[in-house]
Structure 1
Amino acid sequence: MSVKVRDSLSGGLVEVGGDGRVGIYVCGPTVYNHIHIGNVRGHLFWDVAVRFLRSRGYRVKFVWNITDIDDKIINRANQEGVSWKEIVRRYTDSFHERLRLLGIGMPDAEPRATEHIPEMISLIEELIRRGHAYPAPNGDVYYAVETFPRYGALSKQRLEEMKVTERGQTGHKRNPLDFTLWKASKPGEPSWGSPWGDGRPGWHIECSAMVEKHLPEGADIHGGGSDIRFPHHENELAQSCGAHPERTFVRAWAHHGMVRMAAEKMAKSVGNVVDAKEATLRHGRDAIRMWLLQSHYSQPIDYSDEILEEKRRSCERLLRLYREISRSETSSVLSDRLAGELRERFDAAMREDFNTPEAIAALFDAAGGAGREVSSRPASAGEFASLKEAMREILGVLGFDAGEERISEVDGVRIRHTGEPPEAVLRRVARREHSRRRREWSEADRLREELLREGWTIEDTSAGPVLSRR
């Protein structure tokens, strides 16, 4: 069976993976600052999509790039009085650290722009040869958008309408909309040799060159944020199809919606950003996954501490239901039915444009069915082996931490938890529980806040406290 992806270019569903192979290219970060929680959305979603495809036997080649030369990088280096390479090293390391915190895996290839200068020069030369690009007297090279009749098709804009909104200096451009393929070097900036003089590549050309090198048969799926559909992806399409009209560049374009804060797009330029590391330490990786995956990737999504706290609680409920049946060794008729329905719904949802909200709804429905049975007949908790296996597999594909729940008895208090919390943490949880029993609410609240600052959350239940790592 194939997977269908909603293509931003045609608007229809496009089948990919019919031959068992899927090539995915996603636009990665420009490494001049720490990534914020809005930047994380695409990487987390594609992490899940790749996990699903591989779980179904597809041979996936997953690529995202690092933009390691750009005006923003140079400006940051000049502000700090360090080399541009130091900025790249620092923020590439920061990017990787934040991915690890969120449990996001690395791609099969992570090419950097500066490693592909020869490929970009070759592509620009081909565009000039075919009449799609022209060198300017100052050493810049531009793409002539009027030579590509389909320009604007991806962003659903007409060339005449784009001209109306064009602002700024046109310089040596023949048309104000023509975009830069090669920038002539300026004093003090990094540069590379080229047929047009020393300089560096424009932003758009790097992805065209890297898709062609790392996915030579074309990308089955090209992902990125809706904010770069125009001009970045529009320009990629014009470049690659202009240089090699006989090749398939991309079979399906998939754009994820923006993360908003107070109804405004989260962006460094606006200043309304939350560092991805800070958000993860504050709310926990599972809460962030639940928040992002319960909305379809193509839709915008709102961020707030209140929303993330709600998602953390709902995720903990789901995982607790799973852990209640995690020691099951036999399967009842109900277990087999719930497991079968879950697998069928999950597979159908993910094959239809990676519908993670429906996939998670199927998980909650299955867990809820088991939970109602266990509540009415506690002995049935050991009769859900088939559902346990189905949930374990699906939780793994979605990237949730479904570790086995344990019980520690400390100072007469039974504490439920996963992993191995430090003894000092368990003792404070026990002290808090004793404070609650004595109705010393201020002391109980103080201990709860203290643990919260250290990354631990406590949920009070009739069976005792439940400790979770955020």
Structure 2
Amino acid sequence: MSKLAAGQALSGVTVRDTLSGGPVTVGKGGKVGLYVCGPTVYNHIHIGNSRVHLFWDVVARYLRSRGYDVKFVWNITDIEDKIIAKAGAEGVTWQEIVRRYTDSFHERLALLNVGLPDVEPKATEHIPEMIQTIKDLVLNGLAYPAENGDVYYAVGSYPAYGELSNQRPSEMRDTEKGDTGFKRSHLDFTLWKASRGDPAEPSWESPWGAGRPGWHIECSAMVSKHLPEGADIHGGGTDIRFPHHENELAQSKGAHPEAEFVRAWCHHGMVRMANTDRVSGEATEKMAKSVGNVVDIKAAVEKFGADAIRMWLLQSHYSQPIDYSEAILSEKKRSWERLLRFYAQVQDATSSSRFSDELAEELTVRFDKAMRDDLNTPEAIAAAFDVTGRAGRAVSDGAERTEFGSLATALGDLLGTLGFDLSAESGMEYDGVRVQGRDALEVGEDILRLAVERRNAREARDFATSDRLRDRLAASGWAVEDTSEGPVLRRR
């Protein structure tokens, strides 16, 4: 960490709070409590689901790299209607569904180089805390037991309901399906579901009889237990701002009005499928399991690599929606490889010129400024491309690569903190041309263009041009081998 970064470490990070609509600075005392809503484990997460986990993992990495004491929590919803339905459809226990898809969740995060949080609590491990929160709500007059054994939150008893999602209760929709005839209002939501006697459904004893918790209550209980001073930042998708986060806020403030629940709410935009068939070219369809247009993480990593996915997700501001297509991912893959090749060329530099020191200082300043201003990863990455572009031009004009040691350190800090893999031992692919192992870190854009031109000539059966380009590559120290999977470029 540079002296600049160290000096700024405790000055706080400013984020835009969804509730107030304005900036909120957190971490001034050097500590940050971060809570993010995790998955309901009834299916594999897809590439759209991964945005929230990858982004907040980056935030935790950044804060820790700058000296903050971070406690990072995300939950696992391991009891919910979708889990029970999946178990029934497959004829297995709900515990088997939970085990399978929790393992799958962790496996797919590992493929993306996303680390796990400090605490990953499960809903079923916090039944006593949820029951106590419900008891507090009933005592405070914000919840009521119904004749059917359910317990409901009385939305009309909480005047601030709707502020987080910027809605009036009179305009809200009913968000719960099924038998709601025991509610006082259609907007009231379930805190405790009474057991209906189905042996396949789990249940726990409570003051209101056997049953299980509703979905929303778990996060209120978990924040209270694991971040007793409140969450500095509560993250999640815009799709659960209402009703989930709205209900969380109402529950927590209703049960413990004297306590600070969340200092800043941060919601990330949805991943959308790029609709290339439309004349406008706009992407308007949300990626979702219910729609059936999801992209499997394993397949995406195999085709594009984890770092291309990371570049795609981080080059858009977390609060904005982001479009997915194979063309977009291919472009992000090339962008990442361009940065990686420059880093590889200077990472073993033995000295630092004045120009290198200036660029390194600029990169560090811009990186920290971007991240401290609403966690602006696109601006941070733009700074990396700008600075390395100027350094690359200097090298082309005769500057020695060995004199960029300070820039290599600053660039490595930025890329490593953002979670990119700086080894690239597996090589890379450029427009159909494969470059293996460490050679991928040394090949230049001019050599890659020649290799692509040769491939195109060979596919067009223009063998004279193909042979001429092969000779030019050989003269530059590169050999190309034609394989069943396409041309492979390597050092001679």
The residue number in structure 2 matching 1:15 is 25
Distance 1:73 1:200 in 2: 13
Which residue identity does 2:362 align to in structure 1?
E
Distance 1:344 1:10 in 2: 29
Distance 1:115 1:163 in 2: 31
The residue number in structure 2 matching 1:40 is 50
1:238 matches 2:259: no
Which residue identity does 1:397 align to in structure 2?
T
1:223 matches 2:235: yes
Contact 2:14–2:26, Cα closer than 8 Å, also in 1: yes
Structure 1 residues 447 and 30, CA, compared in 2 at 3 Å: closer, same or farther? farther
Distance 2:460 2:293 in 1: 34
Number of equivalences:
438
1:310 matches 2:331: yes
1:334 is displaced (CA, Å) by: 1.0
The residue number in structure 2 matching 1:411 is none
Equivalent residue for 2:73, pick from 30, 53, 63: 63
- TM-score where L is the length of structure 2: 0.84
Deviations 1:354-382 (A, max 9, x none): 000000000001111110011111x5111
Deviations 1:266-320 (A, max 9, x none): 1101111011222111211000000000000000000000000000001101111
Deviations 1:313-333 (A, max 9, x none): 011011111111112111111
Contact 1:406–1:419, Cα closer than 8 Å, also in 2: no
1:418 is displaced (CA, Å) by: 3.3
Distance 1:273 1:404 in 2: 27
Structure 1 residues 318 and 242, CA, compared in 2 at 3 Å: closer, same or farther? same
The residue number in structure 2 matching 1:295 is 316
1:178 matches 2:182: no
SS in 2 for 1:38: coil
Q: Which moved more, 1:323-332 or 1:40-49?
A: 323-332
Contact 1:323–1:404, Cα closer than 8 Å, also in 2: no
Distance 1:112 1:419 in 2: 45
SS in 2 for 1:267: coil
Which residue identity does 2:485 align to in structure 1?
E
Distance 2:484 2:236 in 1: 38
1:339 matches 2:339: no
SS in 1 for 2:43: coil
Contact 1:66–1:110, Cα closer than 8 Å, also in 2: yes
The within-5 A match list for 1:266-285 is 266-285=287-306
The within-5 A match list for 1:103-118 is 103-118=113-128
Equivalent residue for 2:96, pick from 86, 97, 119: 86
Deviations 1:31-63 (A, max 9, x none): 000000000000010011011000000000000
Distance 2:223 2:187 in 1: 24
Structure 1 residues 415 and 223, CA, compared in 2 at 3 Å: closer, same or farther? closer
Which residue identity does 1:40 align to in structure 2?
S
Which residue identity does 1:387 align to in structure 2?
L
Q: Which moved more, 1:329-338 or 1:27-36?
A: 329-338
Aligned-pair identity (%): 67
Structure 1 residues 206 and 386, CA, compared in 2 at 3 Å: closer, same or farther? same
Deviations 1:383-405 (A, max 9, x none): 10000000011110011111278
Contact 2:174–2:186, Cα closer than 8 Å, also in 1: no
1:419 is displaced (CA, Å) by: 9.5
Equivalent residue for 1:356, pick from 362, 366, 377: 377
Which residue identity does 1:399 align to in structure 2?
G
1:73 matches 2:94: no
Contact 2:57–2:115, Cα closer than 8 Å, also in 1: yes
The residue number in structure 1 matching 2:206 is 194
The residue number in structure 2 matching 1:429 is none
Aligned residues: CA RMSD: 2.7
Contact 2:33–2:71, Cα closer than 8 Å, also in 1: yes
Structure 1 residues 438 and 299, CA, compared in 2 at 3 Å: closer, same or farther? closer
SS in 2 for 1:222: strand
Unaligned runs of 5+ in 2: 1-10, 276-283, 428-433, 442-450, 467-479
SS in 2 for 1:233: helix
Unaligned runs of 5+ in 1: 408-413, 422-432, 452-456, 459-463
1:170 is displaced (CA, Å) by: 3.0
The residue number in structure 2 matching 1:450 is 485
Distance 1:212 1:446 in 2: 60
1:437 is displaced (CA, Å) by: 8.8
Distance 2:411 2:231 in 1: 32
Structure 1 residues 315 and 448, CA, compared in 2 at 3 Å: closer, same or farther? farther
The residue number in structure 1 matching 2:281 is none
Structure 1 residues 59 and 317, CA, compared in 2 at 3 Å: closer, same or farther? same
